[in-house]
Amino acid sequence: MNVIIIGASSGIGKALAELYLLDGHHIGITGRRNNLLNDIAHRWPGKCFIEVFDVTGGENIVHLQNLIDTMGGMDLIIYCSGFGTPSDHLDAETEISTTLTNVNGFVEIASFAFNWFVRQKHGQIVVISSVAGQRGGHHTPAYNAGKAFVSNYAEGLNLKAGKLKMDITVTDIRPGFVNTKMAKGNKRFWVAEVGKAAHQIKRAITQKKRVAYITKRWRYVAWLFKRLPYSWYKRL
């Protein structure tokens, strides 16, 4: 199987790449940091292929097509690129950077991949959203909103695949706190190690789930967040 992971230089993306490589798949990895991608590729000659680019750079499709051509096809694509940093004073630059990565870059790549799979007549798109997408967030407004967009878009693509009667699955992975550089703040709980999260994500992908919470107990937090009255939620 040919697997492409967008945003695999560190964190969940890197851990997933290593799991799929251990299983013997051909993996294409992308990211902004050439040295980190090369570190992975050098350990897996002939199995791991890299393309260095920033999803906000305006050449996503060129780079993605290069990777597909190099690998000889694509069966599964995982969008792991994500950006989130506190914006307590609603810093415009932070809000825009977050949205460019989590929404604009995502849409461009996801829509291209979906159409590519339509032509192929099968495939799977995996998106890494977040439990944070259940509600707005005063600490990270653009991040929460962007992850809500990702989940909504993933559902739309699943519906579209059904209408087209295509064997295309879109899996929405909704993590809680995972111990990566992305996990900021002092009020973290139920923090999963990257390895454990990656194993659960890979299992959900194999099972072609439409939605999966990582770790599984975050499903209950998401359920509660969604149903809390605004008057209660705003006190958190």
Q: Tens digits of per-residue pLDDT, 62-75?
A: 999 999 999 999 99
Ordered structural domains, the chain, with CATH: 2-233 (3.40.50.720)
Q: What is the pLDDT of residues 119-178, one digit of tens each?
A: 999 999 999 999 999 999 998 999 999 999 999 999 999 999 999 999 999 999 999 888
**Contact criterion met (CB below 8 Å) for 95 and 139:** no
Distance of CA 135 to the CA centre of its chain: 18
Measured CA to CA, the distance from residue 94 to residue 109 in angstroms comes to 22
User: What is residue 185's predicted lDDT score, i.e. its pLDDT?
Assistant: 47
* Cα(214)–Cα(204) distance, integer angstroms: 9
Q: Would you say residue 96 has pLDDT above 50? A: yes
CB 87 within 8 Å of CB 17? no
User: What is the structure's pLDDT at 83?
Assistant: 80
Contact 201, 212 (CB under 8 A): yes
Task: Report how far residue 147's alpha carbon sits from residue 135's, in angstroms, rounded to the nearest whole number.
Answer: 10
Task: Tell me what the mean pLDDT of segment 86-92 comes to.
Answer: 87
Comparing 155 with 188, which gets the higher pLDDT? 155
DSSP, collapsed to helix, strand or coil, labels residue 46 as: coil
Q: What is the band of 84 on the pLDDT scale with cuts at 50, 70, 90? A: confident
Per-residue pLDDT, 182? 54
Q: Which alpha helices (DSSP H) does the chain contain, by range?
A: 11-22, 34-43, 60-71, 92-99, 106-120, 141-163, 194-206, 218-227, 230-233
For residue 97, what pLDDT is reported? 92
Output the pLDDT for position 57. 87
Angle between helices 141-163 and 106-120 (to 10 degrees): 10
CA distance 172 to 155: 8
> What integer pLDDT is reported at residue 203 of this predicted model?
97
**Is the pLDDT at 105 greater than 70, yes or no?**
yes
Calpha distance 76→94 (Å, rounded)? 31
